[in-house]
Amino acid sequence: MGFREAAEYHLNRAIKFLNLNEDTAMALLEPRKSLEVTFSVRMDDGRVRQFKGYRVQHTDVLGPAKGGIRFHPNVDMDEVKALATLMSIKCCVIGLPYGGGKGGVTVNTKELSESELERVSRGFIRAIAPIISTDKDVPAPDMYTNSKVMAWMVDEYSVIKQVNEFGVITGKPLSIGGSAGRNAATARGGFFVTRAACQKEGIDLKKAKVIVHGFGNVGGHAARIFAEEGSKVIGIADSKTAIYDPNGIDIKAALELKAKTGSLKSYTQGQKLTPQELLECECDILVPASLEAVITEENAAQIKAKMIAELANGPVTPEADEILNQKKVILVPDILANAGGVTVSYFEWVQNRMGYYWTAEEIDEKLEKLMCKAYEDIYNFKQEKNCPDYRLAAFAIATNRLVQAMKDRGWVS
């Protein structure tokens, strides 16, 4: 099942659970606006290349569309539509005044110089400028984009509009309206909801053995935060190398090594495994923080974790979901677990609009409050509605909120 099919599968489960009519289902499954663009960029060697880009606004029933921009060779309209739909659900899970948006450019950034990357970034924002603004659609970083790319984009948009409009893009550097706490927001938000789930499910987080699969920005921060909060991180993995050590891994040393060499390959302690093998090691909490579909029907039966907290997008396939549910594995779904990023993006947008900025401590406090409330809402919904798993409960509660707004505005009956 592909990524878009998986997104539609989960949304259709919620539609069926809520017993929604066909017209309402169509309003949820089909995006309000999809834009495909082709734009020209002059490369360093003088030739002019054409790039394909996409921006999808799933809905604006609750407020502007919100969602990242990814640069990747596999970006296409189907993927962007699926991600925009999931962003609507994610924003509704947390209770943010946004609809879902997503964008992307079909490009391999590893083949670009920095100046070419800047020209692609500026070219894309020029192409989609007519449909974005602080009040219409607010992009942010995603796969292979970052705060530097967002800075170029917000600068280009400001040139077009002839006014600084910092709130049109989030995930910016602090110097031009970025928010404190943004870099670690996804990981910290994931920690907050995992801690809340552990309290409900009877897992002692201070004694928990944790495996973090993925050691990029999100996974690296997650491993650090879990270790700082007293958990024993016994496994970490980047794209090629996994380290397993039942005595616990020195996360600070691993992060320094990764920053210096770009890899975990030369980490000397513990046992070297493949990233796939690490997924199947025994632990209390498994944190997939790398790619989509790393846990499938092929390996789900071998998963030995008591709890899975999905910091990546779609790391567990629908087929694997069923197997894990049968095994009674507690699964904290991605639309809740990794919503810390969009939540702090929301804080950044609010700060830009106010022209008043909060400290990192204030951001963390607000993030914890929203993430924990969202978990409580989902937990209570699951109990009250006899919902079989957290993922369905999260999709159902978010879908219910979207549909209520659509009904109140007269979009559906």
- State the Cα–Cα distance between residues 252 and 243, nearest whole angstrom: 14
> Which residue in 140, 132, 287, 274 sits closest to 208, CA to CA?
287
CATH number of 185-337: 1.10.3860.10, 3.40.50.720, 3.20.20.140, 3.100.10.10?
Answer: 3.40.50.720
The two structure tokens encoding residue 163: 């006014």
Cβ neighbours of 304 (radius 10 Å): 14
What is residue 183's predicted lDDT score, i.e. its pLDDT? Answer: 87
**SS3 category, 296:** coil
Tell me which amino acid residue 77 is.
Answer: M
> Which residue in 168, 104, 178, 160 sits closest to 135, CA to CA?
168
Query: Residue length, the chain?
Result: 413
What is residue 230's predicted lDDT score, i.e. its pLDDT? Answer: 93
- State the Cα–Cα distance between residues 327 and 336, nearest whole angstrom: 21
Q: Rg of the Cα trace of the chain?
A: 21
Mean pLDDT for the stretch of residues 376-384: 96
Lookup result for tokens 């991180």: 233
The two structure tokens encoding residue 142: 């995603």
Range among 37-46, 257-266, 271-280 with highest mean pLDDT value: 37-46
DSSP state, 263? S
Q: Do domains 31-169 and 185-337 have the same CATH topology?
A: yes
* 18-64 pLDDT, tens digit each: 999 999 999 999 999 999 999 999 999 999 999 999 999 999 999 99
The residues annotated as belonging to the active site are 102
Tell me which amino acid residue 110 is.
Answer: K
What is residue 268's predicted lDDT score, i.e. its pLDDT? Answer: 85
* 326-355 pLDDT, tens digit each: 999 999 999 999 999 999 999 999 999 999
Lookup result for tokens 């989902």: 378
- State the Cα–Cα distance between residues 53 and 65, nearest whole angstrom: 17
CATH 3.40.50.10860 fits 31-169, yes or no: yes
**SS3 category, 357:** coil
The two structure tokens encoding residue 146: 């970052």
Element (H, E) at 235: strand 232-237
| Alpha-carbon distance values, 104 to 76, 186, 246 (Å) | 8, 20, 40
* Chain centroid offset of residue 173 CA: 19
Please give the backbone phi and psi of residue 374, each rounded to the nearest 5 degrees, phi first.
Answer: -60, -45
Mean pLDDT for the stretch of residues 66-70: 96
CA angle 73, 74, 80 (to 5 degrees): 120
Share of the chain above pLDDT 70, in %: 100
The two structure tokens encoding residue 402: 């979207």
Do 28 and 371 meet the contact criterion of CB atoms below 8 Å apart?
no
Residue ranges of the domains in the chain?
31-169, 185-337
| Alpha-carbon distance values, 386 to 13, 107, 375, 383, 392 (Å) | 14, 45, 16, 5, 11
Q: Which neighbouring-strand residues pair with 57?
A: 33, 101
Binned at pLDDT 50, 70 and 90, residue 243 comes out as very high
What is residue 292's predicted lDDT score, i.e. its pLDDT? Answer: 83
What is residue 301's predicted lDDT score, i.e. its pLDDT? Answer: 95
Taken in order 317, 368, 143, 14, the sign of the CA dihedral is: positive
* 86-135 pLDDT, tens digit each: 999 999 999 999 999 999 999 999 999 999 999 999 999 999 999 999 99
Give yes or no for residue 291 having a pLDDT over 90.
no
